[in-house]
Amino acid sequence: MVAGEISFGRFRLNLERRELRRDNTQVRLGGRALDILCVLASAGGAIVTKDELMARVWAGVVVEENNIQVHISALRKALEEDGNGESWIVTVAGRGYRLLRPREPPAADDPGPARSLPVPDKPSLAVLPFLNLSGDPEQEYFADGMVEEITTALSRIHWLFVIARNSTFTYKGRAVDVKQIGRELGVRYVLEGSVRRGGNRVRITAQLIDAETGAHLWADRFDGSLEDVFDLQEKVAVSVAGVIEPALQTAEAARSADYPTADLTAYDLYLRAHAMYWSSARRIPEALCLAEQAIGRDPHYGLALAWAALCCNRLLIDGRSKDQEADRLKGIDYARRALQAARDDPGVLAIAAVVLAQFGEDLGAMMSLVDRALALNPSFAHGWFFSGQIRRWAGELDTAIAHGETALRLNPRGQTQWALYLIGSALVSSRRFEEAIPKLLASIQNDEGAAVAPYRWLVACYAHMGRLEEARATLARLRAISSVVIPDARNLRNPEHRELLLSGLRLATGETA
């Protein structure tokens, strides 16, 4: 490549001569549009904020912000034969713009840094957050929902190891080389793309990249109406499966085509509830409200029923329920209805199993249910966490720890606090207090003080070790986020394990049995 020249697709931009060419033909651009392109190209794929563009392109000149949009539109028209330009210049909602550029292969003498995680023997994939090209930050949940559904569809392919969505979303909004992502997540392939939703139309673009070499293996675009959104998701999953494993083609992916609901508004409400549930434990009442609205539109919507049950469960665990008996009964009802609607949806099966186990159902039956979910989707990280929880409640502590470790491997950068909490609490029940403390501390480190259960186990652990000062300091933090310090621990079916937790909490609080 010529010094001072940047290539992307059929285009070459010479920064010194300020000249853009498509193949061998010069592309005529206005001066401001060319200035913007040079700034974006020089950023190496990173996001450039609107303020930075204003400062560098209109230095010392007072202009309206919509001037940027006018010139961005002109650039997109010049860079894309069909006039959209979305393949190259991307709007990152609420932040700015970035120019998509192919990754450069490493120099021959540069072996790159060592892998953080080993690559599995079978094909392995991470689905990165898709860019929201709708121009509306409120549509972020919709783009995120597309990734969730495509990840789930791919996870059902038994020969494919798929990293959990929560781990891949730690890269959202960041310009990170796919080879680095491959090393950090321990995967061979990366899928990235974008979603544009306008009116009743949806466009999904996706490209598959070899994370070891940076080579682009496949790219495609899928257009359709909102009524076809599930079909579009399936087409993306099937196409990726066909590229990764041509011998199997689409046989297994096609079996995952059962649509969750025919009501697109219910689906939209579910996506909002799902995003809200994970954003903060304090927003779970709002998430429950949205899930119940979805159920109101489609009473047989298994995913919405399952998430409503999970919300009721968390309200009780965290001590945030305003009517414990009503929420308990609702949670049981939603979980049982979810099972009736579930068919073979692994997410619904696993959530219903853990909620019903929490509320007193036979643990053996619930273990069988979550085992069925994991047989259907071996890459379901939260499923392994739910399975570990049920095993911990049953007193199978070694199995619980092993399942927590599997959840961490499948979701190494996402909602790790839950797997760490599972492992830490199982270690406390095993009286391995020294090993439990770092796990429990890590589980609450980045949780913004929202999850209650890990604090309870940490208080009990410190108390049983005789570290009462640390127990009481942790107890003060617990009381700041929940009015319920000593919980109803009947979900712990082993009396010794239940008493270990409760006696530790009583030691810290000074209460007696």
Look up the CATH architecture of domain 124-254: 3-Layer(aba) Sandwich (3.40)
> Which residue bears the tokens 């001066």?
31
Cα angle value 160/164/169 (rounded, 5°): 130
Secondary structure percentages of the chain, helix, strand, coil, to 5: 55, 10, 35
Strands 201-210 and 189-198: antiparallel
pLDDT of residue 366: 93
Condensed to tens digits (0 to 9), the pLDDT of residues 444-484 reads 875 554 678 999 999 999 999 999 999 999 999 889 888 88
* From the candidate CATH numbers 1.10.10.10, 2.60.120.10, 3.80.10.10, 3.40.50.970, the one assigned to the domain spanning 5-99: 1.10.10.10
pTM: 0.59
Q: Which of 297, 260, 274, 41 is nearest to 153 (CA)?
A: 260
> Which residue bears the tokens 């009381």?
479
Q: Which of 99, 101, 7 is nearest to 48 (CA)?
A: 99
* Tokens describing residue 81: 């034969």
Parse the chain into domains and list their residue ranges. Answer: 5-99, 124-254, 260-377, 379-513
Q: Which amino acid is it at 38?
A: C
Which range has highest mean pLDDT (123-127, 177-181, 330-334, 508-512)? 330-334
**CATH number given to 260-377:** 1.25.40.10
Whole-number Å distance between alpha carbons of 61 and 72? 18
Q: Indicate if 379-513 has the same CATH topology as 260-377.
A: yes
Q: Fold for domain 379-513?
A: 1.25.40
Average pLDDT over residues 231-251: 53
pLDDT of residue 249: 33
Whole-number Å distance between alpha carbons of 418 and 62? 50
Condensed to tens digits (0 to 9), the pLDDT of residues 401-448 reads 999 998 888 877 666 788 999 999 999 999 999 999 999 998 887 555
DSSP letters along 35-63, please? HHHHHHHHTTT--EEHHHHHHHHSTT---
Strands 19-22 and 96-99: unpaired
Torsion of CA 349, 352, 357, 362, to 10 degrees: -60
